[in-house]
Amino acid sequence: MKEILLIATGGTIASKPTSVGLVPSITSEEIIEFVPKIAQLCKVSTIQLMNIDSSNMDHNGWIKIANCIKENYNKYDGFVITHGTDTLAYSSSALSYLIQNSKKPIVMTGSQKSIYLQDTDARKNLYDSFIFACDDNASGVHIVFDSKVIVGTRARKTRTHSYNAFDSIDYPVVAVILNEKVIYYIEEKVEGDPIFYDELNSKVSIIKLVPGINYEIFEFVGEISDVLIIEGFGVGGLPCYNDENKLAKSVEKLKENGKIIVFSTSVPHEGSNIEVYQVGNEIKNSLKLLENYNMTMESTVCKLMWITSITKDIDKVEEMFYNPISYDILF
């Protein structure tokens, strides 16, 4: 029988109602007791690593989770992490960079309703996660939610209340859990030994373009950031209002000051391609800016946090950024 470690971090799955709203308060030991049939699948140990609303999760929390897995990696056959849904896709992306080449499954899950309730998705999501964590073919970082197994770097929360809250963006789900069995659509192979990292650079910011945006916001955000992701319209680009080109000049100034600039799109599917139109083509080629293409915003942010904790040399950043990790960028 396999040995699986449950790492609890809080979230809705561990919440109880209070006078000020739902508050994470159910412990890891209590969580596992709500689904007693998990004991038929594997031997379970638990760690209460934190008990927070996932809105309060940050880079320090991701490093803490990764370090916990590293410390226990040789003791267990797999890991299940319970987590709030609001930042779950960010966390699964971050762990995909902090823990690479893992032959053991690192499964993240949560729920839209507390496991404390009778009418909830929590118990099924938790049970399905253990089914996947016990599967001989499972490896790497994935989210298991609503019977779907989603690659950690391709996941996004797309619904705020429904049980089918997560989608795999522009990449098929790896598998589904059907009749308590894992049905694979994609075979994943992991080669080499696991690689663990323990640093992230939190100075990564996003500016979402809106029509008529003030160019001064670029200068303000750039002062406190090492990396600036510009989330544009459609396939991407940078507007030029009144032929003054102040936005482009602000971006050029940031680039001259050593800031790393990455173009993205606010459109959820099919990615960016800013060279299609003049508003993007000229600035990308003149300044040699990066572009995230079909990466999710969650994986883009976390990958840049990981890369710039290692180097801020623009040529090395570009090389690492465009090197696919766990299906994060598809060429």
Is 85 designated active site? yes
User: Amino acid letter at 41?
Assistant: L
What pLDDT, on a 0 to 100 scale, did the predictor assign at position 268? 92
Cα(268)–Cα(288) distance, integer angstroms: 24
Cα 87 to the center of its chain, rounded Å: 8
CB-CB contact of 231 with 209 (8 Å)? yes
DSSP string, 226-274: SEEEEEESTT------TT--HHHHHHHHHHHTT-EEEEEES-SSS---T
pLDDT at 191: 85
Q: What pLDDT score was predicted for residue 244?
A: 73
DSSP letter at 278?
A: H
Predicted pLDDT of residue 60: 98
Do 204-321 and 3-196 have the same topology in CATH? yes
For strands 21-24 and 15-18, give the pairing.
antiparallel
**Encoded tokens for 125:** 């999501």
Closest by CA to 168, choosing from 92, 229, 100, is 92
In the chain, the amino acid numbered 309 is S
Q: Is 120 a catalytic residue?
A: no
Tens digit of pLDDT at every position of the chain (331 positions): 999 999 999 999 999 888 788 889 899 999 999 999 999 999 999 999 999 999 999 999 999 999 999 999 999 999 999 999 999 999 999 999 999 999 999 999 999 999 998 889 999 999 999 999 999 999 999 999 999 999 999 999 999 999 999 999 999 999 999 999 999 999 998 988 999 999 999 999 999 999 989 989 999 999 999 999 999 999 888 888 776 788 888 999 999 999 999 999 999 999 998 888 766 777 877 788 899 999 999 999 999 999 999 999 999 999 999 999 999 999 8
d(CA 21, CA 250): 43
In the set 9, 12, 82, 120, the catalytic residue is 12
Q: Running DSSP on this structure, what letter comes out for residue 325? A: S
Domain ranges of the chain: 3-196, 204-321
Tokens of 150: 């989603």
Residue 101 to residues 95, 104, 274, Cα–Cα distance (Å): 11, 9, 32
Tokens linked to 78 = 């797999």
We find that the CATH architecture of domain 204-321 is 3-Layer(aba) Sandwich (3.40)
Token digits of residue 205:
């910011």
Considering the domain 3-196 in this protein, what is its CATH number? 3.40.50.1170
Structure tokens belonging to residue 229? 């992701």
Tokens of 167: 């989608």
What pLDDT score does 233 carry? 92
Give the orientation angle of helix 88-98 with respect to helix 59-72, to 10 degrees.
50
**Backbone CA torsion sign across 282, 285, 286, 292:** positive
* Residue 253 vs residues 247, 248, 257, 265, 299: alpha-carbon distances, Å: 10, 9, 6, 22, 26
Q: Which of 9, 82, 85, 109 is catalytic?
A: 85
Q: Which two tokens stand for residue 138?
A: 């499972």
pLDDT of residue 243: 64
pLDDT of 331 reads 81
| DSSP H or E segment with residue 7 | strand 3-10
